[in-house]
Structure 1
């Protein structure tokens, strides 16, 4: 038996989240290859992997060094090739194949798109791994389930890191050292009596510097990251919350943001800022008109009062839907429906034209993700590329 350990994150920090993600994907690869190796060795003999690798190299699909325990190798082999031997070792049901696509597309999203992913993003990946493992009877199902629960507790503030528990116990149980005998005073006076007040007296705490943190100089106005990335610099104290008349208003002053945007753009701006559901309202930086808010307890850049910078890449937050380029069409992985089958008849021609442009520029079986700004991104093994900007009416109903 081979033991597989998945490192559970202790808090919503970059290092802890990446530790959890990398060990989870490594564990999935080990578990996945072990299942295939055992079953296919029984069916095809011990040379099954060498035969498969030779065939894929001859086809030009695999190049360089191939790790048989890499999920980025095994998952595409499983869902792209209906005749793959992995289909005989794992479930061939459409739900399992679709979930394998989600796991792989989520992996590519982490590598090529995500900036400082947090607990919510890792929870999504762990949920996909859990479902795929459950469909195929993989033991990593239990570890993925545990990770989902841990991340839910971290996001809601219910989990306390073990190191913090130990530190608190040490502070609460620190022994009070009392000398056996007091030295006699030079003048023959009795030593001061050790009263309960002296025993319970505390020394003012001195804030210790974190040895793992450095301070770097910040410019007067920070260079903003892409919309959707973590907020940089100080966070304004004022908050603007939705009002009954559709504005975003500072309750302390009564001032709203709609008057500063204009009626033509306001509905779109408000929808974009509130789409990721910022907690407690949004804030406004007067220096460059940036709008921010807490999304899943992480401060994020939501947009701007004025024009949004467009560098040709995706803006905003990725929606939870996953799509695929399949047989010349854009297919929703959850429903299995194609784009041109669900749009209204009056916009079908425009939607089909947009679909054709995407298909012509994107390899078959590529994963597609949509941002809250309508940016459609093809996320492949080579990177993330914006392939279209879509309007809600030209997309799957209710998805944007």
Structure 2
């Protein structure tokens, strides 16, 4: 009866903290679609752990939540028993208005914390009571079979979806399904594509660093085949053109994956302000600062477009200044599209507004008079 395989769960490091929620949803779907009747025995915790290739503690946590919802009853020395569905009274039903629109958010598959952090904030924003009418929000994972989404009566919101799925999402739209893509690698024709405005974000960051006294500002740009990296570079060029400043020598550091001979080494001696279009670039700045006996932000300032949150960055012990996409603005845009799904509103690209998050990695350089 269990339809999920271990490989479908894809317990990547970025989603490990929410693994039990995905396990819970898999079990719930299996109970709902597996032909179980009230009173039937269900799988034990050990059997579920073996089938889903996860730990007993994860299974136990998921099962406890399902039991609290009344779907199962765990009885010592008997096992897990399927509970009958409990009907709602008419008075309760009348209070459940207006009906919530189902929204399925598909989490990204990156093996770092940044996309997971953003996805979590977007999920919270989409669940907010500030949105009216509210969504009934569910989520799936990057590695869950896309075929399952085709069968769901819900709006699909994939975050940073796989390139090989772009054609599938386009086909879903032609079949009448509502699909909103958040940060796809490249815009998918006919689909709502929401992007952080990396071009404007970099312009703001570069201008800010110059305005507080930095004589030279550089950029560390990502290497993925993604429109964000293209627009980050355009923003860096725009800012210097608008300020009528030359691009500093060594100011553009382009990260690479395949060409290891081109190391990501920023010049922190001659360039005191750095904008990083991806989080790993911040680590490169920190490494070079240690090598040259410089400190952040007293000698070198760093701004990131990836927001790791309020915790200090371990490599240098400071909380990272960011120019970040606003998840509440993204949620409001998704809400607007879903409840007013007009063709003339669905432009090929829509940019999400962003916000400056002031923390501890930006300051005037020591040599400012």
Q: Tell me the TM-score range normalised by the shorter chain.
A: under 0.3
Higher strand share: 2
**So what's the TM-score if we normalise by structure 1?**
0.22
Bigger radius of gyration: 1
Structure possessing the higher relative contact order (Cα contacts under 8 Å, 6 or more residues apart): 2
